[in-house]
Amino acid sequence: MSRLEVAEAFGGITFPGHLHTQESLQLALKFPFQDTDVLIVSYPKSGTTWMQQIVTLITSRGDPRVSQTAPNWARAPWLEHHYSAALLDALSQPRMITTHLPHRMLAEALRGAKTKVIYVSRNPKDVLVSFYHFHKMANFLPDAGSFQEFFNTFLDGTVHFGSWFDHVKGWTSQLGAMPNLLHVTYEELSMDLKGSIVKVSSFLQRPLVEDEVNSCVRYCSFSSMKDNQMINCSLVPPEILDHSKGAFMRRGKVGDWRNTLTDEQNERFESVLAEKLPVCSLEFVWQLDIEQHRDTKSYRTKVSAWSARQE
Ligand code: A3P
């Protein structure tokens, strides 16, 4: 089933028909989560694959063999993809499952479950740039057009997978309400991979010894993952991912958006951010001073304000 040109409209969002069907999306909404499941949630290009690798390595106590022999989409299948049902059935406990669905679509299925949920977010300007490059190589995504055109659709939230703003608001507004929800940012992973691995292993109640943590760090590095065929998408046929137009493991940098966005685009982005993510209690560190490894700017958002407005 290639359906490269098909878009599935579902719940007000369009999804690539190559990966999704109405049936697979409906099934995801009713998925019987188990308490032992680990669910990795993200908007595309936010560090999903990185977190899949981290959880894989933590589960194997730093042993890289599973991550070198099983592709990430089989180790941590996407809940909503049409080909995942058989893969999910074949997973051993604890199951690692991935999703790009917004919280509103999974709220019912997750209600009452003790599933551990890891939400990964990233500076949306870096998501935008990464997503734009991915559109150029992914033949199952619409033609991105010029960067300016893609920029507009991203800010409008009419890109495939829906609005970044709604996705982040929906999931992070559950922090505190969902007891088993951990929020990890791409920037945290970049700034302190070792500390982040320890934090995730502790959340998963799988403490590791120093050597195991060091092994996780080694196999979760950008260079190691870029060379791993089970992760770098090089096994995906060129008619689906055109490898001549880019690399899935592209740059792996914080703040790469500065090489693409003009000052004018940055100002427009900031004004949309200010409008859609009002000020306060949740703090994202989105820009790092790479040399000194300290924050130069953070953006605060008010989760309680979103929750109030959503009700
Ligand atoms: P770039 O396109 O900016 O390089 P996702 O897995 O959600 O699709 O996200 C893909 C992005 O995460 C890509 O970003 C990819 O390079 C980056 N990434 C994946 N593994 C990484 C790692 N170990 N270190 C840094 N970035 C990583």
Residue-by-residue pLDDT tens, the chain, 311 positions: 699 999 999 999 999 999 999 999 999 999 999 999 999 999 999 999 999 999 999 999 999 999 999 999 999 999 999 999 999 999 999 999 999 999 999 999 999 999 999 999 999 999 999 999 999 999 999 999 999 999 999 999 999 999 999 999 999 989 889 989 999 999 999 999 999 999 999 999 999 999 999 999 999 999 999 999 999 999 999 999 999 999 999 999 999 999 999 999 999 998 998 888 765 445 666 665 433 333 434 444 444 444 434 33
State which residues form the domain around 176: 7-252
Question: Per the domain annotation, does 107 fall within a domain?
Answer: yes
Residue 271 belongs to a domain = no
Give domain status of residue 299, yes or no.
no
Would you say residue 282 lies in a domain?
no
In this structure, are residues 160 and 43 in contact, taking their beta carbons and an 8 Å threshold?
no
Pocket of ligand 1 contains residue 162 by CB under 6 Å: no
Q: Counting atoms of ligand 1 from 1, which one is nearest the CA of 250?
A: 4
Distance CA 240, CA 65 (A): 27
Model pLDDT, residue 284: 66
167 domain-assigned: yes
Q: How many structural domains comprise the chain?
A: 1
Dihedral sign of CA atoms 129, 133, 135, 138 in order: negative
Q: Using a 6 Å cutoff on CB, does residue 49 contact ligand 1?
A: yes
Structure confidence at residue 292 (pLDDT): 37
The crossing angle, in degrees rounded to 10, of helices 124-137 and 147-156 is: 120
d(CA 190, CA 185): 9
The DSSP code for 281 is B
Residue 157 lies inside a defined structural domain of this protein: yes
Question: Which pLDDT score, from 0 to 100, does residue 305 have?
Answer: 40
| Cα angle value 14/26/105 (rounded, 5°) | 70
Angle at 37 between CA 171 and CA 208, to 5 degrees: 100
Residue 133 located in a structural domain = yes
Distance CA 152, CA 264 (A): 13
Contact 111, 179 (CB under 8 A): no
85 ligand 1 Cβ < 6 A: no
**Residue minimizing CA distance to atom 5 of ligand 1:** 45
Q: How far does the centroid of ligand 1 lie from the alpha carbon of residue 45, in Å?
A: 6
Q: For the chain, what is the radius of gyration of the CA atoms?
A: 18
- 8 Å CB contact between 186 and 46: yes
Choice from 19, 49, 121 to test ligand 1 binding pocket (greatest atom count within 8 A of CB)? 49
CB of 167 sitting under 6 A from ligand 1: no
Atom of ligand 1 nearest to the CA of 224: 23
Q: Is the CB of 227 under 6 A from ligand 1?
A: no
Q: What strands, in cross-sheet order, belong to the sheet with 96-99?
A: 96-99, 38-42, 116-121, 181-185
Atom of ligand 1 nearest to the CA of 222: 23
Q: Residue 86's domain is classified under what CATH number?
A: 3.40.50.300
